[in-house]
Structures are given as structure tokens and as C-alpha cells.
């Protein structure tokens, strides 16, 4: 089953010809979730051949423009394409006012239900819980109400052994009972222990998205042990004072959070436009946390537990 992250934008503040501002597409079991939606996001979605209509949930970390200026365009495009399925947007409550103002000014009546879910950026809370995933907010330390998002895959059910199934004709109810952990009794009264006829499912996967934030160790318990951590790295360490003043992080600080949280891999992003060559940021992070990598527009990362 798929669990992947596609980077649609890895830059900070302003769009560049080679790097877009923040947006990521998460695919879990072919269900698509969009995190942040900066200017140009829908173009990036098309460039990466992602079906816009399959996106049903959009999470906006905060209301700085480089994280949501593309949302109104995407909402309108979905309307023009004839969407009728509901679209859920999770964000600062003021975003609903902003979107409604745009719709009212353009006299647009959407073909589909647009449902807003207000976020409380002061506390960590579960904002989505469905069959496949649970999404929990991560309060971040920025100069504006901001939160990140932890996407945790649900534990899969046990797999039924193929050698056990050979020569047997099980009803659907039998499959469900075995997968729920129950023993199986055949038509002759022979009891098969569940642990003898199933194999353990793979471990559930997890991804944490920490957008704009100053260095803040309080997030460590929330992201501890995740398979992949995205953490902003706007500056290098020689600009640490700038990072502190603007409530951003350096690449080294992002790596320190990854190290202390014991994550499997670190994905750096949200780079300042001043950096043309990103290798120096990566080198800075690797010194602290070797399993670091650079986010790059258009890249897709498969999330697998180690």
C-alpha cells in the first residue's frame, strides 16, 4: 500500500523560477491529502500528473501567503471542473472569512460543499481520523498562529497465510473473523489457531510536517520516532540570529530536532531565496543527523519504516 510524499514547493516567501513556495501532496493508500497550498500549487499538481479531484482534504499550516495563496485558485478550478464531492479545509478560522469574501466578490456559488474545520494552534489535537490514517496537529513556534501535522497510518490487519488457504473455500465472514484475530473452525470441527494461519502485518508508517517554526524542543514528544520528518530549514547556522528574530530554523537546528526525536529520516525545506546551492545546508544538517535529505520540487519519497 502506498504512503508517499510529493514535494510541490520547497521554498520560502517568494516563488522562484526553479522553486515554488510550500505545498506537499501526501498519498496514503491512494487517498490524497494536500498540505499547504502556496501560489502555483495547482500548476505543480498538474505537472506531477496528480488528479485534482482526488484531493478531499487540505491542511493549511498558517496564514502567511507562501502557504495558502494558491488555495483560492485551486478551489475555483475544482468548481470549474464540475466537482460535486465535498472538500474539507483545515486551517486558522480566519481562512473561512477570507475564502468567503473572495467567493462573494466574484459572485461564485460553488458546485460542491466547501467545509472548513477551524484549528486551534495552541494545542495538539486529532483533526481527522478515518479508516487509513489519523492526523494530529503539532503546535509550532512562529510569529503567527501556526501548526504542523502528523499523519499516522492505522495498523493493518494480519495477513492470512497462502498455504493455509490452499484447497479451502472460505466465506467472506470467515476472512473477516480471521483478520480480526479469531481462530478458524472448519466444517470438520478442526480448530486452527489464528497465530498459526496468519502473518503479522507490516508496521504502520508516519510522517510529520513541521512548517515555519523557530527551534523548539517541545515538539519532540509529538514527532518522536516518525519514519519521515519534514522540518523547515530557512537559514544556515551563520544566520542563526536572523532565524531567531524571524521565528525560523537553521538546517543544523532542524537536524538537532531530528536527532533528539529519534526519527528515521529528515527532509529539509522552506529554503530562503538567498541560497542558490543547497548543498551547504545539507552538509550542515548531516553533521548532526546523517539521515538528512533535501526537499526538491517534484520529488516523491516513499515512506517506509526501517
Residue numbers annotated as active site: 66
Q: How many CB atoms lie within 10 A of CB 292?
A: 25
The gap from C-alpha 131 to its chain's centroid, in whole angstroms, comes to 16
Name 91's Cβ contacts closer than 8 Å, sequence gap at least 6.
59, 60, 63, 68, 116, 117, 118, 119
Distance separating the N- and C-terminal Cα atoms of the chain: 16
Torsion of CA 87, 92, 93, 97, to 10 degrees: -80
All three cell numbers of 178, joined, read 480471521
Beta-bridge mates of residue 152: 134, 206
How far apart CA 11 and CA 22 sit, in angstroms, is 6
E-strand ranges in the chain read: 3-9, 23-28, 31-37, 55-59, 87-91, 114-118, 126-129, 133-139, 147-153, 159-160, 184-185, 191-192, 198-199, 206-210, 228-232, 265-269, 292-294, 300-302
* CA 299 vs CA 24, 252, 287: distances in Å: 10, 22, 23
State how far the Cα of 59 lies from the Cα of 36, in Å rounded to an integer: 6
Q: C-alpha distances in angstroms, 125 versus 77, 148, 197?
A: 31, 11, 38
Amino acid at each position: 500500500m502506498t504512503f508517499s510524499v510529493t514535494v510541490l514547493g520547497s521554498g520560502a516567501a517568494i516563488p522562484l523560477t526553479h522553486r515554488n513556495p510550500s505545498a506537499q501532496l501526501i498519498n496514503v493508500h491512494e487517498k490524497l491529502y494536500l498540505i499547504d497550498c502556496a501560489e502555483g500549487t495547482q500548476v505543480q499538481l498538474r505537472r506531477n500528473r496528480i488528479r485534482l479531484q482526488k484531493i478531499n482534504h487540505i491542511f493549511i499550516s498558517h496564514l502567511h501567503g507562501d502557504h495558502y495563496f494558491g488555495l483560492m485558485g485551486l478551489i475555483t478550478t475544482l468548481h470549474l471542473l464540475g466537482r460535486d464531492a465535498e472538500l474539507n479545509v483545515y486551517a486558522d478560522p480566519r481562512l473561512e472569512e477570507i475564502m468567503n469574501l473572495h467567493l462573494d466578490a466574484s459572485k461564485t456559488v460553488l458546485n460542491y460543499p466547501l467545509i472548513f474545520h477551524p484549528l486551534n494552534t495552541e494545542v495538539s489535537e486529532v483533526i481527522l481520523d478515518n479508516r487509513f490514517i489519523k492526523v494530529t496537529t503539532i503546535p509550532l513556534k512562529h510569529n503567527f498562529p501556526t501548526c504542523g501535522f502528523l499523519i499516522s497510518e492505522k495498523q493493518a490487519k494480519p495477513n492470512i497465510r497462502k498455504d493455509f488457504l490452499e484447497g479451502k473455500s472460505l466465506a467472506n465472514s470467515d476472512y473477516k473473523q480471521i483478520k480480526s484475530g479469531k481462530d478458524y473452525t472448519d466444517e470438520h470441527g478442526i480448530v486452527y489457531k489464528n497465530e498459526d494461519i496468519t502473518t503479522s502485518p507490516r508496521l504502520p508508517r508516519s510522517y510529520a510536517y513541521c512548517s515555519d517554526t523557530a527551534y523548539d524542543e517541545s515538539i519532540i514528544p509529538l514527532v518522536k520516532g516518525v519514519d519521515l520528518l519534514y522540518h523547515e530549514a530557512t537559514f544556515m547556522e551563520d544566520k542563526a540570529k536572523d532565524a531567531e528574530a524571524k521565528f525560523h530554523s537553521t538546517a543544523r537546528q532542524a537536524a538537532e530536532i531530528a536527532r533528539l526525536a529519534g526519527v528515521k529520516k529528515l527532509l529539509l525545506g522552506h529554503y530562503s531565496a538567498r541560497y542558490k546551492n543547497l548543498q551547504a545546508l545539507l552538509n550542515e544538517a548531516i553533521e548532526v543527523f546523517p539521515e538528512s535529505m533535501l526537499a526538491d520540487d517534484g520529488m516523491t519519497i516513499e515512506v517506509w519504516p526501517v
